[in-house]
Structure 1
Amino acid sequence: MSEGTKSRLPLDGIRVLDVATFLAGPFCATIFSEFGADVIKIEHPEFADPMRNIGMKAESGDSLTWLSEARNKRTATLNLGKPEGAELFRQLVRQADVVVENFRPGTMERWGLGYKDLASVKSDIVMIRITAYGQEGPYKDRPGFARIGHAFSGLTYLAGEAGRPPVIPGSTSLGDYITGLYGAIGALMALRHRDRTGEGQFVDAALYESTFRLLDELAPAYAKFGVVRKRMGADTATIVPHSHYQCGDDEWVALACSSDKIFEKLAHTMGRPDLVAPGTYETMRARLDNREFINGVVGEWIGRQTRDELMATCLRDEIPCGPVNSIADIFADPHFAARGSLLTIQDPDAGEIVVPAVLPRLSKTPGRVSHLGRRHGANTADVYGELLGLTAEKLAKLKSRGVI
């Protein structure tokens, strides 16, 4: 849906109060905003969300991360740690459906804003609580970010080359995005329950658990057979050949032979039908037992071709293969362009900014980006005037006392 489209979105009428900070909680709230929810981003009057300062900055003074990930939200300030601020927040909750927070367990309770406190104000409120280790357990009070979640979950242990130090698994913020997605899924299910029963509830989302959930057979393989998977670089533990290979022009591709049938196609394409003769490497088990040999044969064949040549050959024979793209490759790729995967937004302060498109894609009610992340407290007067009826004089007094 292009900017400015006015058709009704799935979450129109839902109001979300986002009191979380960098990055899982705010991303969770952004998902709601992209599909029509009125998301109010609440920041401390003095200490804004650190996401405003993470990474490269635009002309507006805010970071590109903020502009992208705080899109569609209204921004207001409020000091939750002050009793007067906490009371204002409770008043906002009466007119909200969802609250998103990612403070350490007990912080909201100290302010009188825990789930039980908010439920006493609005019984059907849904609260998303995102932390490193969850709301209970011996480690619940430990601080943590996505990098810590990656490490504790077991993901980092798997990332890197065999015999070398573990590395960053893709993005340092991967666990934040994954947990934000789980938080949004949980809240949508909680809202469905609320609509049927009138009951609210809270969603307990932990960075480490969200990441751990994605680690395929890691848990059952250890429980059943005592297998501790090691770092394997670009390879996959359960499939061969299924890796990254360097072409003759120094470009890289990803090749995925996830079945015996696909490997049979690849063997014939390489001119090596002997690799799938009976009793050789026609089964996945045989290829797993001879990983180094198979990777060597495939890598040597790929290394004799440019990436374009290889892609043409693999596409012709329906062998799953794709380029290992840089961001420059992505901006030049016609498929990204055709699907509108990159959105160009004009920001009044930052100018032209390109951001990832809204996901998931819905056929009848697709989401939208109406604006990028706004300045600190840009909508404070609007929010408190519209929702709580506070006058300009009252707002000025609250500001003088450091409440907003």
Structure 2
Amino acid sequence: MRVLDVATMLAAPFCAALLGDFGAEVIKVEMPGSGDPFRRFGTMTEAGASLNWLNDGRNKKSVTLDLRQPRGAALLKRLVADCDILVENFRPGTLERWGLGYETLKAIKRDLILVRISAYGQDGPYRDRPGFARIAHAFSGLAYLAGEADGPPVTPGSTSLADYISGLYAAFGALLAYTSRERFGDGQMVDVALYEGIFRMLDELAPAYARSGFVRERMGADTVNVVPHSHYQSADGKWVALACSTDRMFERLASVMQRPDLLAPDRFPTMAQRVAARAEVNDIVADWIGSLSRDEVMRRCLDGEVPIGPLNSIADIFDDPQFHARGNLLHVQDRRVGEVVVPNVVPRLSATPGRLASLGPDLGQHNDEIYRGYLGISAEEFESLRADGVI
């Protein structure tokens, strides 16, 4: 599979990176001189590229090409003729203004798969609005739910979550389209709005509102229909996540706590009773956890088969034996910056596993290989394109 990544920053490039993790040849098309702004986003390295770029530009070849120039658009068309998937995340209509719209590209290659990620999708009244992941978190309804009940809405963990989720859905769509192409011979367009993947993951938010008008509000670490299901602090100041999603789980917790009285018929044996007495149940659990060290709480709960886990910082993750056993932290030697540790490929396949062949490339590193090797451009034309700022 050959993929053209003409996008910038994160969502669509992440889609291409996922395909590259499993063997696709990904050609990253960047502006001459400056390249993808993601190269300079985040912690910079001595190589002049950010750690973000080294990680998420993985398994790609970089060429420079100014798509705004007619000669640049013509070169992209030549690349499209021999590729399977093109991913982009410009505002809707941008490729069309450059003479590179879907119908134009489809005329060059009938079975091309065009993956388009934008803030609000290719249609609708908001199609022309700009957007980033933070805006998607707000628009989708996620940010409204994040934070304490008496506090303002906050960022839900990662400001780039919507980018990564959109990229994942886009890769899923690309593979569905690729499978369809194998059966029916035609390509198609995959259209993903940045907010849609987040909205799809908000469990029963939409059907609950449509059915009863229920508007879920911020609840901090709690969950709307499950108690106890939250974060609790141990005696040594550390935090654990506890998840008693069923009555059976709460029975086990009561046993671990040596509190059989909590299961009395007029107390909290059912989820409905616990939800109705949320504050009281949470206080009881918090007091018990707060009387023990985190390690002791973890030991007792795990021995009693109660779902519990630590709230890990990245330092905790680097020390955790599970992350090491699963190979989640991949140590990569890079000729420019030495060792870099990045998240490993996901998912794990037993017969055809993915791999990380290289970190994010230097700008234009593969110009000669792609333009002269793949397209057969002469040395004279190559120098002319470079002199004119096309590549």
User: So what's the TM-score if we normalise by structure 1?
Assistant: 0.96
| Aligned-partner SS, 2:237 | coil
Residue pairs, 1:103-182, within 5 angstroms: 103-182=90-169
- Contact 1:73–1:373 (CA<8 Å) still a contact in 2? yes
Deviations 1:121-180 (A, max 9, x none): 000000100001000000000000000000000000000001211111110000000000
Deviation string, structure 1 residues 300-331 (Cα, Å, up to 9, x no partner): 00001111111111110110000000000000
Q: Which runs of 4+ in 1 moved over 4 A?
A: none
The answer to whether residue 80 in structure 2 is matched with residue 71 in structure 1 is no
| 1:316 paired to 2:296 | no
- 1:386 CA drift (Å): 2.0
In structure 2, what is the equivalent of residue 3 of structure 1? none
Deviations 1:51-96 (A, max 9, x none): 1111101111100000000001000000000011001000000000
3-state secondary structure, aligned to 2:358: coil
In the alignment, structure 1 residue 294 sits paired with structure 2 residue 267: no
Q: Which residue of 2 is the match for residue 394 of structure 1?
A: 381
| Match runs of 1:222-301 below 5 Å | 222-301=209-288
Q: Does 1:209 align with 2:196?
A: yes
SS of alignment partner, residue 339 of structure 2: strand
Q: Which residue of 1 aligns with 2:358?
A: 371
In the alignment, the residues of structure 2 paired with residue 279 and residue 87 of structure 1 have an alpha-carbon distance, to the nearest angstrom, of 76
Deviation at 1:47, TM superposition (A): 3.0
> 1: CA distance between counterparts of 2:374 and 2:81?
10
Amino acid aligned to 2:257? M
Contact persistence 1:381–1:392 (CA under 8 A): no
Query: Residue in 2 aligned with 1:403?
Result: 390
Maintained 8 Å contact 1:253/1:307: yes
1:355 to 325, 342, 351: 342
Residues in 1 aligned to 2:373 and 2:304: alpha-carbon distance in whole angstroms:
61
Q: Distance in 2 between matches of 1:186 and 1:140?
A: 20
CA distance in 1, matches of 2:240, 2:175: 38
Residue 6 of structure 1 corresponds to none
Shift in Å at residue 287 of structure 1? 0.6
Partners of 2:261 and 2:224 in 1: CA distance: 24
Kept after mapping to 2: 8 A contact 1:71/1:374: yes
- Counterpart in 2 of 1:197? 184
CA distance in 1 between counterparts of 2:52 and 2:206 reads 34
Q: Distance in 1 between matches of 2:169 and 2:206?
A: 20
Residue-by-residue CA offset, 1:246-278 (whole Å, 9 max, x unaligned): 000000000000100000110111111111112
Rounded Cα–Cα distance in structure 1 between residues aligned with 2:378 and 2:343: 38
**Superposition map of 1:26-37 within 5 A:** 26-37=13-24
The question of whether the paired residues in 2 share the 8 Å contact of 1:69 and 1:373 is answered with yes
Q: Deviations over 1:23-46 (max 9, x none)?
A: 101000000100000000000103
Q: Quick check: 1:381 aligned with 2:363?
A: no
Give the aligned partner of residue 7 of structure 2: 20
Letter in 2 for 1:110: R
Q: Deviations over 1:309-363 (max 9, x none)?
A: 1111111011000000000000001111111000000111011100000001111
Question: How far off its partner does 1:393 sit?
Answer: 2.3
Q: Which amino acid aligns with 2:292?
A: Q
In 2, Cα distance between equivalents of 1:115 and 1:221: 38
CA drift at 1:280: 1.9
Instruction: Provide the C-alpha distance between the structure 2 equivalents of 1:119 and 1:279, rounded to a whole number of angstroms.
Output: 67
- The code of the aligned residue for 2:123 comes to E
SS in 2 for 1:381: helix
Cα distance in 2 for residues equivalent to 1:111 and 1:266: 62
Normalising by structure 2, what TM-score?
Answer: 0.99
Stretches of structure 2 lacking an aligned partner (at least 5 in a row): none
Question: How far apart in 2 are the matches of 1:343 and 1:80?
Answer: 35
CA distance in 2, matches of 1:154, 1:402: 43
Paired amino acid for 2:181: R
Q: How far is the alpha carbon of 1:279 from its aligned partner?
A: 3.0
Identity of aligned residues (%): 59
Match of 2:306, as an amino acid?
I
SS of the equivalent of 2:148 reads: coil
Residues 1:221 and 2:241 aligned together: no
Whether contact under 8 Å (1:16, 1:38) holds in the other structure is yes
Match of 1:10 in 2: none
Distance 2:12 2:115 in 1: 8
Q: Partners of 2:79 and 2:48 in 1: how far apart?
A: 29
Q: Does 1:303 align with 2:281?
A: no
One-letter amino acid of the structure 2 residue matched with residue 332 of structure 1: D
Q: Could you list the per-position Cα deviations for residues 81-126 of structure 1 after superposition, in whole angstroms to 9, with x for gaps in the alignment? A: 0011001000000000000000000000011111111101000000
Could you say what secondary structure the match of 2:180 adopts? helix
